Amino acid sequence: MTELETRLQHITGSDRNIYCHQCGKCSSGCPAADFFDFRPRKILAMVQLGMIEELLTSEIIWNCAQCLLCSERCPRDAGPSEVIQALQNLAYISDINVPEGYPVLINSILKTGVVQTPIKVKFWRELPTKDAPRLKFEFRDRFSLGLPQLKKPEDFQKWSNALQEILKWKKE
């Protein structure tokens, strides 16, 4: 087993991708497949063939929207979305072909627990006028919309520690 394969297995916490029997149910429901030449089934096949470096150096793994539909549909519990996410993490810690915004996203998760903190939303408000109604943009925050303030996830510390563990690998 190569070092990349060992690290991938460590990140996924299992090697259940070997259960994939190439039925294609994941690819047939994948929303990203409509826009890109992207097939989770193919990624699982490449992982089984040990083509980890090829996956990391291509841009293909970053086209996954992490909607998790493939893992829901998988009859073999092979966890395609988890494998793709692990490949993204592996690319990050190995400094291979990482999209520019990804480190920003990771820093935000470490500090706040979420990818991006929603601050204000923009919506149309109808202005009463004598003639035809006129619409105007307004910005509203959670408080003015009657929503509770965002809380950090309950297991935030555990999550943050796990992420820090991966980042340690990056420094090795």
Structure tokens at 132: 């035809």
Stretch touching ligand SF4 by CB under 6 A, among 67-75, 113-121, 136-144, 164-172: 67-75
Does residue 12 bind ligand SF4 (CB under 6 A)?
no
Does residue 64 bind ligand SF4 (CB under 6 A)?
yes
DSSP helix/strand/coil, 13: coil
Find the binder of ligand SF4 among 56, 60, 81, 87 (CB under 6 A). 81
Minimal distance, residue 58 CB to ligand SF4, in Å: 14
Q: Based on CB atoms, which residue is closest to ligand SF4, 4 or 78?
A: 78
Q: Based on CB atoms, which residue is closest to ligand SF4, 34 or 172?
A: 34
Using N-to-C axis directions, what is the helix angle for 156-171 and 102-112, rounded to 10°?
140
Neighbours of 152 (CB within 10 A): 13
Contact call for residues 27 and 40 (beta carbons, < 8 A): yes
Question: What is the 3-state composition of the chain as percent helix, strand, coil, each rounded to the nearest 5?
Answer: 50, 10, 40
Residues lying near ligand SF4 in the complex (CB under 6 A): 20-26, 30-32, 40-41, 44, 64-70, 73-74, 76, 78, 80-81, 84
